[in-house]
Structure 1
Amino acid sequence: MSSVFSMFMSRTSINGLLGRGSMFVFSPEQFQSLLKVGPDWKSHRLLDLGAGDGEVTKVMSPHFEEIYVTEMSQTMIWQLQKKKYRVLNIDEWQSTGFQYDVISCLNLLDRCHQPVTLLKEMRSVLEPTRGRVILALVLPFHPYVENGGKWEKPSEIMEVNGTIWEEQVNSLAAVFQEAGFVVEAFTRLPYLCEGDMYNDYYVLDDAVFVLRPV
């Protein structure tokens, strides 16, 4: 089924249609550790950008009164709506008139056309004192954008320097600072993707950052 659909649909949309392609970035305990909060910690508003099928959103959602998500793929939007999350259009979340206490941007910066603009937009709608961004990025950095069944280069270049993991992590600190953030915490985690007929799952190398606005 996946092979047939791949002729005219993106991989993300195929996974949404078939109810597969779930991702694992962090556990509830790892999320709490990154934000330095306890299991009973509560806050008001979460925005999960590029939420996919909402399985990672589910890890964070118990801590928030309101949960908003965005997603490009219509089939993934169906999955998010079934989970009762509030879906915002990709050009709507920046102009709702309210601020978010936590914005998650997990493995999205290397898959969007304007990553630098996205960082600045997150800064503009984040609550300025207690607000935090939790951001995951696969390193080494290889940006491309999924368009139908094809891959394209992003229209905006995010300057990530260095060849090894540690060099690129250090380079990203300057990228975040330019967008109005400072790195409050970071870790290295395996990013697990549901597999296919050849592999049960795939493992990528994620750098996960907690960003504080300055």
Structure 2
Amino acid sequence: MSDTKTPTTAGTGSLLRRAAATEGAMWRSMYLWARRRPLALAPGDDPFGYLGVVKPILGIFIGLSAVEIPIFDLIVSNVVPWRPARWIVLALGVWGLLWMIGLFASMKIHPHVVGDAGIRVRLSAGIDIFVPWADVEAVSKRYRSLPSSRSVQVEEDGDRRVLHLVVGSQTSVDIRLRRPTTFVLPKGQTEPVDELRLYADDPDGFLRSARGTSAA
């Protein structure tokens, strides 16, 4: 019996650790964003954001979350006779609002960075991949719309395996690698991939910076 429960227990523990790490990262991002601390960049580093495509959606969700708090408070306080229910619903509403603001902040303060050493690919506070120039064969611009909105997607493109880091179901920059490469993600290490595709609000600027830096 113990053997059959061990994988489930381990999986649950891993999920809880990831959830706790995500929660902590959201609060830290919100704190740093509120403090307006400048992004630490090395000489020659160029940051590139990816928030633009989802900024209107996040703005709507944040606005709706703020409006829902007093509405649900009014409903619960007048309908549910159990007084603690009001404070529970209020706490959940405030937590949901702050979590959405934290998500916005985490995407804002963790941009992609093109620098002298290579390309640092970010996605919120959870994904941080560094690709040195020695591993980069080519960088190109191409907008793609993917059928799924999942942030991390892997697909087979002919005889090549591609890792998509998606924002708003889109990617806009392709990084072709010189050799199959593995990357460490929150859920573990990937299979070797031949290409990395990401979304940047300014893919033209990303390409200019990549070509100028890699050629230097």
Pairwise TM-score range, normalised by the shorter structure: under 0.3
**More helix by percentage:** 2
| Bigger Rg over Cα | 2
